Structure 1
Amino acid sequence: MSEAGLDALLIPPSADLRYLTGYDAHALERLTLLVLPAQGAATLVVPRLERPAAEAQAAGVTFADHEDGTDPYPLIRAALGAAGTGPTGAVGLGNRMWAEQVLALRAALPEAEQRLAGAVLAGLRLRKSPEEVEALRRAGQAIDAVHARMGEWLRAGRTEDEVAADIAVAMREAGHATVDFTIVAAGPNGASPHHGTSDRVIGRGEPVVVDIGGRMPDGYCSDSTRTYCVGEPPAEFREYYAVLHAAQRAAVAAVRPGVSAEAVDAAARDVIAAAGYGPAFLHRTGHGIGLDGHEDPYIVAGNTAPLEPGMAFSVEPGIYLAGRHGARIEDIVVCTADGVDRLNIIDTELVVL
């Protein structure tokens, strides 16, 4: 924080708050805010009715609570003053803080310069500790176990919604605390990367993109995509799935320390473009993952940052033919000291059910 020129961080309920304190707080209209000075004690400002939950989870902080109907923002000034920071200088606000809180803090601390806390926290969260890598590995194993059961639910005559409901139950059975998304995109719906689900009936011979993820009890996320076919797929689909499979493998193989994020993106994109499907690859190759489903680093053209050991991210190229079908393959990987560690180990070959 001192190196970034920040006198304090002000962190609302978020993955940042859980990372720093262990407290998985709900974002409510009642103010919860971690006041973390560069020097001095950290204070967690909480609604009085939330204090028991905060005390049960949060570590390394003192507590200041506020009753309904009272103004909590003087508690922020008091916490900064108690730490010797005072209400001046520069404060880093949580990057995803609600606008109404940003403006209220501007009024409560008019002397302070507001900046983004991400200048400090992104660099810390970017490189996962060995314990965090193991948490992501457990999440990967849990979502792999769900994909391994797909033949139980995915068949012609059922709707996307019905399959997604079964997947959600299985995710909880596999250990997830929450189900964040269940994309089941059959036939032409597979050409929309974020389709979701619908009441459309899955037809014989249709490719189906299944992208699923959630959070484990420790807060770390899973995210994995496999593409299936209910019966024999069209010849065109088999052709470009082979291209996609080669592209995904090339991108995973490109991961190692010192390689730029955009070079991993290019490793996948070049294979797809060389086969004539370049315009059908509609999105970046990957995103970081941890306590947030999407976080740094982003594996995309223009990101010249070099990969470092401990960085965890998805590798998920896709090919999407509008009006017909699509395919995506996604693994979570970690950059290691000498290469790459795949956290999703279930087969990436096309599965025909």
Structure 2
Amino acid sequence: MPDPDTSPPFTASSDRLRRARELAARAGIDALLVSPGADLHYLTGYRAAPLERLTCLVLPVEGRPFLLVPALEEPAAQTSPAAGLDLEIVSWQETQDPYALAATRLPAVATVGVDNRMWAEKAMAFQAALPGSRQVLAGPVLSELRMRKSPQEVRALRQAGGAIDRVHARMAEWLRVGRTEREIGRDIAEAILAEGHVQVDFVIVGSGPNSASPHHELSDRVVRAGDPVVVDIGGTTAAGYCSDSTRCYVLGEPPAEYRRLYEVLLRAQRAQTDAVRPGITAEELDAIGRDVITTAGYGPQFLHRTGHGIGLETHEEPYIVAGSARPLEPGMAFSVEPGIYLAGRYGARIEDIVVCTSDGGERLNRTSRDLTVLPG
């Protein structure tokens, strides 16, 4: 298990590089190749843009690591936190082959770990430049580092949770009969930025029958009296950490069956958040809510897993799903979001971010989970 990380959430440390190399060695990987994305940000603090030109952290188990960047991106790399780490920043010119350059600087490697989000053309170019090596995914190594959040990372997630809670607390400002989902979504997006995020990651406003589609896209449907509305929203804060929370609203008096459905869902979600503790497995936590929903007769209408990890990305390890025997550990942060969806009629989902602590769980979203009835 990796050592606890004491660095601030938005500042990488040479210790993270050291632990990545140790875990790679244990996995039989001779070098890690990490392209722009959350893994590179986590390890180096450098938020590089994913461009056609190669930017890549080359992290050999033996030898000094280096960050390979296009010459025109070198100033950005040199002013990023990566410049303060124990690695060399190596720039390449437009007429150079950066993959061949990386290969010449690497010791002999039998197995290289390629980050899970590397573009296929880049992974294949590395394979051609390192013909004697075998490529494997670096994800199992890097997710071991990232899924157990440090106290500083938990604090950043707590701040992100508070920011998205402030948006939900203002929902009555925008959610009104006669407005379209798209109009409401536009106002919510502006509020996500105003309430403490630097980026809007997603806005789901599913009204009436659209609430039965878990990943509904904003539409021009006009919200009507009596409509249930599922609002699932999230963004990224300046620290780089994400928020994600879902609440349900209704414009006026909801259908009686919807109230019954919602009460079942609320019991399931509360049972799951209350059950979070070290040692419970991801599939056991999933089953707690699923059993409540199934007993009430809505089992087939719970269409998705209970939750996903969250941190520098909205979706990351660990995943709370049937078939995952991973025991929860202190520092793991994830969503708990059971849902019930009656196709063509309506649906409901309640989502909180929860952090596993040494003796239980901390719910980072604090707005009421009760069905919110707004004027119809």
Which residues of 2 match residues 63-78 of structure 1 at below 5 A?
A: 63-78=89-104
Alpha-carbon distance, 1:109 to partner: 0.6
Aligned to 1:214: 235
Q: Which amino acid aligns with 1:26?
A: A
Aligned to 1:134: 155
Question: Are residues 1:13 and 2:36 paired?
Answer: yes
Alpha-carbon distance, 1:254 to partner: 1.2
Q: 1:303 aligns with which of 309, 324, 348?
A: 324
Q: Which amino acid aligns with 2:101?
A: L
Aligned length: 348
Q: Deviations over 1:139-174 (max 9, x none)?
A: 101000000000000010000000000001000011
Determine if contact 1:18/1:24 at 8 Å carries over to the other structure. Answer: yes
Aligned to 2:275: 254
Which residues of 2 match residues 31-70 of structure 1 at below 5 A?
A: 31-59=54-82, 60=85, 61-70=87-96
Question: Are residues 1:3 and 2:26 paired?
Answer: yes
The percentage of aligned residue pairs carrying the same residue is 63
Alpha-carbon distance, 1:68 to partner: 2.5
Alpha-carbon distance, 1:74 to partner: 2.0
Which residues of 2 match residues 140-219 of structure 1 at below 5 A?
A: 140-219=161-240
| TM-score (normalizing by structure 1) | 0.97
After the TM superposition, which parts of structure 1 deviate over 2 Å for at least 4 consecutive aligned residues?
67-70
Partner of 1:327, secondary structure, is strand
Q: Which amino acid aligns with 1:70?
A: Q
Alpha-carbon distance, 1:69 to partner: 4.0
Moved more, 48-57 or 105-114: 48-57
Aligned to 2:286: 265
Alpha-carbon distance, 1:116 to partner: 1.1
Q: CA RMSD in A?
A: 0.9
Partner Cα distance (2:220, 2:181) in 1: 6
Partner Cα distance (2:95, 2:242) in 1: 36
| TM-score (normalizing by structure 2) | 0.91
Q: Which amino acid aligns with 2:250?
A: C
Partner Cα distance (2:255, 2:281) in 1: 37
Determine if contact 1:13/1:26 at 8 Å carries over to the other structure. Answer: yes
Aligned to 2:254: 233
Partner of 2:132, secondary structure, is coil
Q: Which amino acid aligns with 2:337?
A: E
Question: Are residues 1:123 and 2:144 paired?
Answer: yes
Aligned to 2:48: 25
Alpha-carbon distance, 1:214 to partner: 1.2
Q: 2:122 aligns with which of 101, 124, 132?
A: 101
Q: Which amino acid aligns with 1:39?
A: E
Partner of 1:271, secondary structure, is helix
Partner Cα distance (2:259, 2:127) in 1: 57
Q: Deviations over 1:61-84 (max 9, x none)?
A: 21111223432112211331xxxx
Q: Which amino acid aligns with 2:242?
A: C
Q: Which amino acid aligns with 1:73?
A: Y
Q: Which amino acid aligns with 1:48?
A: A
Partner Cα distance (1:312, 1:248) in 2: 16
Partner of 2:233, secondary structure, is strand
Give the gaps of 5 or more residues in structure 1: none
Q: Which amino acid aligns with 2:72?
A: L
Using a 3 Å threshold, how does the CA distance of structure 1 residues 79 and 175 change in structure 2: closer, same or farther?
farther
Partner Cα distance (2:80, 2:210) in 1: 42
Partner of 2:91, secondary structure, is strand
Q: 1:346 aligns with which of 367, 371, 375?
A: 367
Alpha-carbon distance, 1:51 to partner: 1.2
Alpha-carbon distance, 1:135 to partner: 0.8
Determine if contact 1:156/1:202 at 8 Å carries over to the other structure. Answer: yes
Q: Deviations over 1:268-311 (max 9, x none)?
A: 10111111111111100000011111111110111011111111
Partner of 1:237, secondary structure, is helix
Determine if contact 1:64/1:75 at 8 Å carries over to the other structure. Answer: no
Q: Which amino acid aligns with 1:76?
A: A
Aligned to 1:334: 355
Partner of 1:2, secondary structure, is helix
Aligned to 2:4: none
Q: Deviations over 1:197-239 (max 9, x none)?
A: 1010000110000000111112111110001001111111111
